[in-house]
Amino acid sequence: MSYRQLPLHDHQIPASPIVLGCMRFGGDWDGAPITEDLVVEGHQAVEAALEIGINHFDLADIYTRGKAEHVFGRILSERNGLREQIIIQSKCGIRLVGDDEGPQRYDTSGAHIIKSVDGILSRLGTEYLDILLLHRPDPLAHPQEIGEALSKLHQAGKVRNFGVSNMGSEQIRLLQMHSRMPFIVNQLEMSLDKIGFVEAGVTVNRAQAKENVFPYGTMEYCQAERIQLQAWGPLAQGRFTGRAIEGQRPEIEATAELVARIAKERGVTSEAIVLAWLMKHPAGIQPVIGSIRPERILACRDAAQVELTRYEWYELYSSSCGRRM
């Protein structure tokens, strides 16, 4: 697996082209305690990731209501030297449950960001995060307040780099105006099923543009500003890699068959083809695979080595959107 140099500050660990998303670590999203079986399950997922060269791990303070970070913290404590060999990013900015201050909501107030990071570091048992992402756009966000909070976290050595998730170019631009630290990551939903990131460009001045919700210009802005684009949900919940797809739109079934055919011709897994389609984009998209199953993680092994032709890429794109270019 080839590595790329993210614009990371303070150290220069090359990042793997695929990230392991740890949303499923820790079991269900309930108050049940963390069992040893769940810790073992996490160890097995991390081992599979390391085996295929993944050194970049994605978490969030809300994942399984904090249990994902607790489990990952156990893994770090039980694998000597692992922390220094990997890139850990986590996210904050969503309050899952209501409290005395209000309902479930987004919260990027400075106080909440700082408190969230302290909680993240405590659960992980580490002194710093390589990257902190703001999880969702907050309509009540104060950019200057956010910038001041991020500066405090960086100066305290708690967070080395910053990014965002699910934001368009103008939202990032506004935040960047008030932050001394550059935003180096933007994580968005992109896959062979969620093709809005392509449609936003190719449907300009066409009727189909009205149906697309992906923020126009975001791909180009991130490329121009050297912001690493990451794709959450890149395997489309298995729709093209063996999951039962009865009742799905016809394009899903046709595209799944096409993925299987190309995978057979290339001698790789369907997962490798689905990820390679994303990774061919000139933005250098970094897929964040969300499986905890070792066999599913291992199935992604060859994605970075598959170089789809333009014909194959457009064939897959046309199949997914259900029309010719």
DSSP 288: E
Quick check: helix, strand or coil at residue 279?
A: helix
Closest C-alpha among 184, 216, 224, 225 to residue 198: 216
Query: Residue 72 corresponds to which tokens in the numbers above?
Result: 């990952």
Residues forming a β-bridge with 106: 94
If you compute the radius of gyration of the chain from its CA atoms, what whole number of angstroms results? 20
* In contact, 142 and 107? CB cutoff 8 Å: no
What residues act catalytically?
63
Six-digit token string for 16: 């793997």
HEC string for 26-48: CCCCCCCCCCHHHHHHHHHHHHH
At residue 88, φ and ψ (nearest 5 deg) are: -115, 125
**Phi then psi dihedrals of residue 189, to 5 deg:** -75, 120
DSSP state of 9: S
Give backbone dihedrals phi and psi of 38, rounded to 5 degrees, phi first: -70, -35
